[in-house]
Amino acid sequence: MLWVVAGAAALGFWWREHPSPCPYGLRVWLVLPRPVITWRRLIDILSPREGERMLEIGAGTGYYALRVAERLGKSGRLDALDIQQSMLSHLATRAHERGLGNVVTTVCDAHVLPFEDDSFDGVYLSTVFGEIIDQDLALAEMYRVLRPGGRLVDGECLGDPLMVFPENLRQRATAAGFSFVRRVGVPLAYFALFRKEAGDADEAQGS
């Protein structure tokens, strides 16, 4: 048992030093129950509404994506991004099986988002932010593609060896121009909500 614990600790340390996404071969971990950062809690804090356009970064096989897409309805759209085509193919199959025609998948990372400015009502990611090499650049991209008043939600938990702690996330997000709204959960497992204030775009246009 001690060898298992030691091995897990060593793997976690290595992963923190070498950030990388979960391989498709380990996708079973992506569908396991997630204490605190559940899909229901994400829905509550993100508040996706029918007709909105949402973006998920690091969608994996769709633990959150399918639930969000259901709430966006036929008039809404969910863009699901991942750097692994195998993950997105899996997600697309699951969406088709559920009759969800509003999920659009794209292979890319978070550093250069292939969307126009002010495209989304909400952007969210969960246990993904720590995998991003240049987090400040990624936050700047998320800010750019969000509409004025748009929401950003990030989920983190201690079970992720690349977990980003609340204060670190808040400092980076506010430096990118976001306003902190609230956090649900506990410091070691939480969702944090930020907003791109409506006035920010007006100031940028006037400058």
Name the residue with higher pLDDT: 9 or 73.
73
Report how far apart the first and last C-alpha atoms of the chain are (Å, whole number). Answer: 61
Neighbours of 187 (CB within 10 A): 11
Between strands 120-126 and 179-186, the pairing is unpaired
Q: Which pair of tokens denotes residue 198? A: 């409506």
CATH, residue 89: 3.40.50.150
Q: Is the pLDDT of residue 26 over 60?
A: no
Domain with 65, as residue range(s), is 2-206
Quick: pLDDT tens for 91-124: 999 999 999 999 999 999 999 999 999 999 999 9
Residue that is written with structure tokens 């999920």 in the block: 103
Longest pairwise C-alpha distance within the chain:
62
Q: Is the pLDDT of residue 139 over 60?
A: yes
Q: Is the pLDDT of residue 140 over 70?
A: yes
Give SS3 for 88: helix
CA of 17: how far to CAs of 10, 11, 25, 161, in Å?
11, 10, 21, 10
* Whether the Cβ atoms of residue 77 and residue 104 lie closer than 8 Å to each other: yes
Q: How many domains are contained in the chain?
A: 1
Q: Is the pLDDT of residue 134 over 90?
A: yes
Band of residue 17 on the pLDDT scale cut at 50, 70, 90: very low
- Please give the angle made by the CA atoms of 89, 23 and 112, to the nearest 5 degrees: 70
Q: Can you tell me the distance from the alpha carbon of 32 to that of 27, in angstroms, rounded to the nearest whole number?
A: 9
* Whether the Cβ atoms of residue 98 and residue 62 lie closer than 8 Å to each other: no
The reported pTM is 0.83
Quick: pLDDT tens for 50-71: 999 999 999 999 999 999 999 9
